[in-house]
Structure 1
Amino acid sequence: MAEVTPVGIAGLGVLSALGRGPEPQLAAALSGAAAFGPIDRFDVSGRRVGIAATLGQVGTLTAELAEAIEAACADAGLTAGERAGSPLLLAVHGHPGASDCAAELADRAGLAGAGRVYTGACVSASTAVADAAAMIGRGLDRVVVAAGYLVEPDQFALFDSGQALSGDGAVRPFSSGRQGLLLGDGIAAVVLESTAAAAARGHRPATELIGWGRAGDAYHPCQPAPDGRGLARAIDAALQRADLSPHAIGYINANATGTPLSDTAEAAALHRSLGDAAARVPISSTKAVHGHALEASGLLELVLTVLSLQAGKLPVNAGYLGPDDSCELDVILASPRPVGTPYALSLNSAFGGANTALLVRAT
């Protein structure tokens, strides 16, 4: 497999129930302060669970995405001309107007148009990031990737009726006694840029995407393969593209949703891919504080991984009650840990057996 030329993460914009902008995201992730609370956005009186991570004052999905894209472009310091040569890749929950939404967002931000729209469930945004890196590898200077999900009644009802939502108001990744996931608002945008293009305009990104992988396990429509083979292949591909040993990884922001089957399968995938390093790599899932943002999860969690590397501190695994013998991992508990190496993985999985791994490096 060909080694990937590093792609700079030149700018970002983010919103979740933790707040607007990077600072509240990082503060909550490091302290383990979860944003879950009663839903007042729509009626949940007939639901088994009435909890999610929602931001109190929030606009429409399109308006919030536009704000995040603008923040990312401004953070990257893009000129009007640089924006005009940069396409937009958008990951959102599938609906008939998604392509029109992408075109509108690109036009509002002065971008080169909507390149693609991704609606592939919980790996949508991470797949878009991988595609953007490939596009830059083929000669494009930069790509803007945006993703968004705001908790709404339809998806909430589906997860509630499927009894996938946690009944105790908390998400407890890799923990004994975990009961399920909780949904959360998530809006994020990043500017990915070739190192040559960044250098030409005097910009040095603090973090680079150096590898990525994606693979399917085709095991079950909803359940992951118990042995984690699909996710393991995605991790292997990311490491191979970066020509990096598993022992170099210093942090994993896990997919871990707090569901019994998924977390166990992910632990199996890590042991399958990383070998003896799996039990020693610090790991946590930031879903424990911001919830599951569905199609936007991959980008929101990548942003938090990047912010953590830049801050030199690793997020705690909130909600943890005690060890689970099926998840023998080095879970970060109680307080943040210092960053030990500049390399981190951000992992995502989706219904249907889709899996992605994004590998980043602090510069």
Structure 2
Amino acid sequence: MSDLAGRTGIVGVAAVSALGRGSQAQLAGVLSGTAAFGPVRRFDVGGRRVKDAATLAGVGPLGDELAWVIRDACADAGLTRAQRATTPLMLAVHGHPDAARLSTTDKPTAAGLAAELAGRAGLAGAAKVYTCACVSASTAVADAAALVRAGRVERVVVAAGYLVEPDQFALFDAGRALATDGAARPFSAGRTGLLLGDAVSAVVLEAVGTREVLAEVVGWGRAGDAYHAVRPDPAGNGLARAITAAVRRAGIDPARIGYVNANAGGAEGDAAEAAALRQALGAARIPVSSTKSVHGHALEGSGLLELIVTVLATMAGKLPVNTGYLGPDPACELDVILDAPRPAGSPYALSLNAAFGGANTALLVKAVS
């Protein structure tokens, strides 16, 4: 049997966020360490306690942006029309962006959006839609990688998107989850909350051996806290189990992991994530940062954008800075990357996500330099 059998690679990527349009804009943005937060002008925030987010001026409707990244990722992978026609789509979104403004009987669905997007891109159809909050995109990637590894499909397109809009902004603001000082400060003393951000992205996953690979998805893990509706387990047990499962599936020593792009957004749960990392990875001092400190928290779109920047940064040999850091928090004792990008010491990197309801995901990739 070929040593390529069962291996899953990322062969094409595309992304749009407040950092700009295109994958290289994302890489440049996270390596610059300059946060993209500013006053929201897309809708009225006059009555809100927080008025900042990371938004891209001139961005189009979510459906159009999703269609663009799907087509761009397919082009980046070099897929022919015939190959696209046999490739299914997995989509992670909060719901159909037009549903709130239409009557109950006419409400469009996320499944309908996925089918429409597959048609616009010439794909085989919509295989699955994920609306499981902030682990939506990472769960989709794990499922897609499992399908490819098992030989059930040759390739899958995974797309995910969220554009900062008034409803979710109002909910997070009313719940006092948003940072009051205009900055997201993951793992930092003095952090006051997360800030939302735009993220629309797509990746093509394919069996290794067909074409040039950017990175391999070598492991993934999923676990639940069963602790609280919106708060993570303070001990980080669920996330630790997800990390451990990803490492075991990859079959590597945890010490070989060279970077963790953390879920942390600058909120209460950062300490739980730090506990999970210490529990799962032992005494290993693995460099950690959260790129949410630069591009914001994109809810259902977060996991895919963060996976893309993790792959691109590791390929480039430079690990992103944890922006906004004011000082150490004793509850978040980690090797946080500060001041400037750090040289990558390993091709292996983890991208972590967690969601309301206690859902946790870990994606472990091996980048190709």
State the partner residue of 2:102: none
State the partner residue of 1:113: 125
State the partner residue of 2:271: 264
Contact 2:6 2:150 in 1 (8 A): no
Question: How far does residue 128 in structure 1 lie from its aligned partner after superposition?
Answer: 0.2
Amino acid at match of 1:299: L
Question: How far does residue 246 in structure 1 lie from its aligned partner after superposition?
Answer: 1.0
For residues 316 and 52 of structure 1, what CA distance do their matches in structure 2 show? 19
Contact 1:318 1:333 in 2 (8 A): yes
Amino acid at match of 1:19: G
Whether 2:286 is the aligned partner of 1:281: answer yes
Question: How far does residue 134 in structure 1 lie from its aligned partner after superposition?
Answer: 1.0
- SS at 1:334 equivalent: coil
State the partner residue of 1:335: 340
- SS at 2:346 equivalent: coil
Number of aligned residues: 352
More displaced stretch, 265-274 vs 132-141? 132-141
Whether 2:32 is the aligned partner of 1:31: answer yes
For residues 86 and 50 of structure 1, what CA distance do their matches in structure 2 show? 41
Of 308, 317, 330, which residue of structure 2 is paired with 1:312?
Answer: 317
For residues 243 and 77 of structure 1, what CA distance do their matches in structure 2 show? 30
For residues 137 and 311 of structure 1, what CA distance do their matches in structure 2 show? 26
Whether 2:148 is the aligned partner of 1:136: answer yes
In structure 1, list runs of 5 or more residues that go unmatched. none
- SS at 2:282 equivalent: helix
Question: How far does residue 214 in structure 1 lie from its aligned partner after superposition?
Answer: 0.4
Q: Deviations over 1:295-335 (max 9, x none)?
A: 01000000000110111100000000000100110000000
Whether 2:109 is the aligned partner of 1:102: answer no
Percent of paired sites with the same residue: 68
Contact 2:325 2:338 in 1 (8 A): yes
Whether 2:27 is the aligned partner of 1:19: answer no
What TM-score do you get using the length of structure 1 for normalisation?
A: 0.96
Contact 1:253 1:305 in 2 (8 A): yes
Contact 2:179 2:194 in 1 (8 A): yes
- SS at 2:277 equivalent: helix
Contact 2:35 2:294 in 1 (8 A): yes
State the partner residue of 1:216: 224
State the partner residue of 2:69: 68
For residues 315 and 77 of structure 2, what CA distance do their matches in structure 1 show? 15
Of 160, 183, 197, which residue of structure 2 is paired with 1:170?
Answer: 183
- SS at 2:158 equivalent: strand
Q: Deviations over 1:1-36 (max 9, x none)?
A: xxx933110000100001000122111211211110
Of 240, 249, 258, which residue of structure 2 is paired with 1:250?
Answer: 258
Amino acid at match of 1:124: S
Question: How far does residue 232 in structure 1 lie from its aligned partner after superposition?
Answer: 0.3
Q: Deviations over 1:128-156 (max 9, x none)?
A: 00000111122110000000000000000
In structure 2, list runs of 5 or more residues that go unmatched. 97-107
Q: Deviations over 1:223-264 (max 9, x none)?
A: 0000000000000000000001110000000000100x2100
For residues 194 and 25 of structure 1, what CA distance do their matches in structure 2 show? 25
- SS at 1:151 equivalent: coil
More displaced stretch, 18-27 vs 350-359? 18-27
User: Runs (4+) of structure 1 moved beyond 2 Å?
Assistant: none
State the partner residue of 2:238: 230
- SS at 1:15 equivalent: strand
Amino acid at match of 1:111: L
State the partner residue of 2:305: 300
Whether 2:188 is the aligned partner of 1:180: answer no
Whether 2:50 is the aligned partner of 1:49: answer yes
Question: How far does residue 270 in structure 1 lie from its aligned partner after superposition?
Answer: 0.5
Contact 2:315 2:347 in 1 (8 A): no
For residues 5 and 315 of structure 1, what CA distance do their matches in structure 2 show? 31
Question: How far does residue 215 in structure 1 lie from its aligned partner after superposition?
Answer: 0.3
Whether 2:157 is the aligned partner of 1:149: answer no
